[in-house]
Amino acid sequence: MSLTLENAQVDDPQGRRILGPLSLQLSESRIGVVGNNGCGKSTLLRLLAALQMPSQGCVRGFGTTTQEQGEQWPRWVGVVFQNTDHQLLFPTVIEELAFGMKQLGWPDAEARAQQALAERPGWAYRRVHELSGGEKKWVCLRAVLLMQTQVLLLDEPSSGLDQGQRRQLRAELAGLEQQQIIASHDPQDLQHCERVIWLEQGRVRAEGAASEVLEAYLDA
């Protein structure tokens, strides 16, 4: 099972091309997406998350496409946004963590959320808007991991985290079985990927083994 882009293209409201056309089969268990600011990384992840529909072409997966069954996508694909403000919706940490699981219809959503907070005593009723940037990131990641989707899309997962938190995050992600597609300009986030795709102005400039593509990107 893999996500596939078929001539997928995204245009902005003025009709200017932001991404594509891209045709990619994303089957490796760790895929990195690298590229400069504005090259289309977040747009690509939004397409794969069914948060944005292609202007042309399609995104296929799970026996269907985002156009046909995008509303089912959250069952299969979890996404951690680049900007936590685009993800956090609720006043308290516990509500935030339980929400996704509730949407999936899990009766023990609240209990699972409480369990996840065992390592952060006193956090359940902390106000989300009072958390630091890195703490918000932790909540966003935790909420998505709790949903145990088959695919995880991570947009700049380590931005805003201190070194200790980055190490912990990388170790945790390395231990997960879920497929991960990670967008980042930090090569350290992508070193372990089986395949790295380098985007430039919405198109693939290069792709292949992480060491080669990241080296070429850093030299460019």
Ligand X SMILES: Nc1ncnc2c1ncn2[C@@H]1O[C@H](COP(=O)(O)OP(=O)(O)OP(=O)(O)O)[C@@H](O)[C@H]1O
162 CB-near residues (< 8 Å, 6+ apart): 134
HSE-up of residue 178 (Cα within 13 Å, Cβ side):
21
Q: Which stretch binds Mg ion (CB under 5 A): 12-20, 38-46, 169-177, 206-214?
A: 38-46
177 CB-near residues (< 8 Å, 6+ apart): none
Return d(Cα 204, Cα 178) in angstroms, integer.
24
Contact call for residue 163 and ligand X (CB under 6 A): no
Number of residues that bind Mg ion (CB under 5 A): 3
Contact call for residue 184 and ligand X (CB under 6 A): no
Closer residue to ligand X in complex, CB, 9/114: 9
Residues within window 73-112 making contact with ligand X, judged by CB under 6 A? 82
Return d(Cα 84, Cα 61) in angstroms, integer.
26
Provide the mask over 43-72, with x wherever binding to ligand X is found by CB under 6 A and - wherever it is not: x-----------------------------
Q: Exactly one of 3, 24, 31, 39 binds ligand X (CB under 6 A); which one?
A: 39
Nearest CA to 48 among 16, 79, 84?
79
Return d(Cα 128, Cα 126) in angstroms, integer.
6
Q: Shortest gap between Cβ of 51 and Mg ion (angstroms)?
A: 13
Contact set with Mg ion (CB under 5 A): 41-42, 82
Return residues touching ligand X (CB under 6 A).
Answer: 12-13, 18, 35, 37-43, 82
